[in-house]
Amino acid sequence: MGMDRRLSSMTDEALLRAWAAGDEAAGATLFRRHFVALRRFFRTKVPLDYDDLIQATMLECMRCKDRFRGDASFQGFLFGVARNCLLHHFRSRLRDRLDFDASQSSVADLDPRPSTLVARNAEHTRLAEAMRRIPLDLQIVLELHYWENLSTRELAEALAVPQGTVKSRLRRGREALREVLDGAAAVGSAAGSAAADEAGLEADVRALRAVVDVG
């Protein structure tokens, strides 16, 4: 019990460095602390390989621990590593790796099969599929902002871009998502017209997090 309390009170940075120094219990604590968030991150993009990518992300965090100096959030560092592992995974599956551009290609481009998430209603199903159809970099910035509550500074660290670029991506992500949803509504039915309301769209994206956690 004393060991558990000690580990639970340690910062992410301290756990990372203790793990790198050979403390397996510290590594297990760090893994448990961020497992759910990493599971969310990967499940919406690689539903069949997310376990392997979570492991790869944590091991890469330990390997490049010196890049995290504690002057920014561990989440920003963690999701920066997770994004790099994800991009490497996608590129490794392509014959021509130069064809993959995260600013242009979507998850649906790489895997045209419908989302495997089990949504509770048609709106969530439509939104989950729409998220897969916007460029990957825009999907990532929306999910990290609305699901993990990363600030623009943390997002800038995770994506290795200026904060101004983060704000631009958030705007373009919302616009791209609205376009996909409105297009689907025009083809299918009148449902989904609430996508025109930005506040409603943001609330829907936040609500989708629970679907990912359960589905």
Q: What percent of the chain has pLDDT over 70?
A: 89
Backbone angles phi, psi at 135, to 5 degrees: -50, 140
The pLDDT score that the predictor gives to residue 190 is 42
Alpha helices for the chain (secondary structure H): 2-9, 12-20, 24-43, 50-63, 74-93, 107-110, 122-132, 136-146, 152-159, 163-187, 198-214
Residues 6+ apart with CB under 8 A from 99: 105
CATH architecture of 10-214: Orthogonal Bundle (1.10)
Task: For the chain, give the number of residues.
Answer: 215
The answer to whether the CB of 213 falls within 8 A of the CB of 40 is yes
* CA separation for the pair 68, 20 (Å, rounded): 13
**184-206 burial code (b ≥16 CB/10 A, e <16):** bbeeeeeebeebeeeeebbebbe
Render pLDDT for 21-46 as a digit per residue (tens, 0 to 9): 999 999 999 999 999 999 999 999 99
Of 131, 144, 170, 122, give the one whose Cα is nearest residue 47. 131
Report which DSSP code applies to 115. Answer: P
What is the pLDDT of the chain when averaged over all its residues? 87
pTM of the model as a whole: 0.88
Q: What is the pLDDT along the chain (215 residues), one digit of tens a residue?
A: 566 788 888 999 999 999 989 999 999 999 999 999 999 999 999 988 899 999 999 999 999 888 887 777 899 999 999 999 999 999 887 765 556 789 999 999 888 777 777 667 788 889 999 999 999 999 999 999 999 999 999 999 999 999 999 999 999 999 999 999 988 665 444 444 444 478 889 999 999 999 898 86
Sequence ranges of the domains in the chain = 10-214
Place of tokens 């790099």: 84
